[in-house]
Amino acid sequence: MTAASPVIDIRDLHKSYGALEVLKGVSISAQAGQVISLIGSSGSGKSTLLRCANLLEDSQSGEIVFKGEAIKWKGAGHNRRPADRAQMIRIRTNLSMVFQQFNLWAHMTILQNVMEAPLTVLKRDRAEVETSARAYLAKVGIGDKCDVYPAQLSGGQQQRAAIARALCMEPTALLFDEPTSALDPELEQEVVKVIKSLAAEGRTMLIVTHDMRMARDISDHVVFLHQGVIEEQGAPDALFGAPKSERLQGFLSASVG
């Protein structure tokens, strides 16, 4: 990776579900330490783009490059798949994803949830992982919840546990897919506070969000997707303060209203 290589570089990505084209040639890149927010209406392709970046979904064409290393593919079109499983796992573990619905294991304590992937996927030392996990749970404000189960936590606490779990993988970048949309407004603010603190640390993040205030506050760059294409993008002040396209103007008016 050269100094100028983006952490994530997506070039002309196309993704379809059968005949439905969801991404129609999207290009986006994130440099180290950059926070990029993806905004747009439901169905615009934001979450699909994130899932393709993390190789949770297969795209039909286009390139995905991680720290200068291009994903190797086999097949074409709807038969295209990552060609190198070891490469796919290595890159996915470096792009930790935080989902809308927390995805915590109900039968494990919060501490066990955070420790599981570093132990099983990365094969790290148990004592070292436990120290790390406890530190990250403290960092997100739930250090006292290590021994409880997900069902005993509020939605905001569960999402903060999910963020600690992502951090415990020591990823190169964090991908957030609507991290606050399943939460009540007061719980949402707990999670926004954590995400803002991570942005302030200079972590590389791609965030799909409906929270325009958070996107404006923490992003270096904002991308507005509409029907599978990038309609407008730029610095948050320009995008939110003086949107050029009518579609973005309409979207922002509806979001505020």
Residue 60: predicted pLDDT: 97
Q: The tokens of 218 are what?
A: 């923490």
State pTM to two decimals. 0.93
Q: At what angle are helices 155-167 and 185-200 packed, to 10 degrees?
A: 20
Residue 186: predicted pLDDT: 87
Distances (CA, A) of 10 to 2, 4, 59, 146, 192: 17, 15, 11, 37, 26
What single string gives the DSSP state of each residue in 178-234? STTTTS-HHHHHHHHHHHHHHHHTT-EEEEE-S-HHHHHHH-SEEEEEETTEEEEEE
Question: SS3 sequence, 42-64?
Answer: CCCCHHHHHHHHCCCCCCCEEEE
Q: Kindly give the confidence (pLDDT) of every residue in the chain, 257 residues in length, as a single tens digit, with 9 standing for 90 and above.
A: 445 689 999 999 999 999 999 999 999 999 999 999 999 999 999 999 999 999 999 999 999 999 999 999 999 999 999 999 999 999 999 999 999 988 999 999 999 999 999 999 999 999 999 999 999 999 999 999 999 999 999 999 999 999 999 999 999 999 999 999 888 888 899 999 999 999 999 999 999 999 999 999 999 999 999 999 999 999 999 999 999 999 999 999 998 65
Question: Where do the structural domains in the chain lie, given as residue ranges?
Answer: 8-256
CATH for 8-256 is: 3.40.50.300
Residue 5: predicted pLDDT: 86
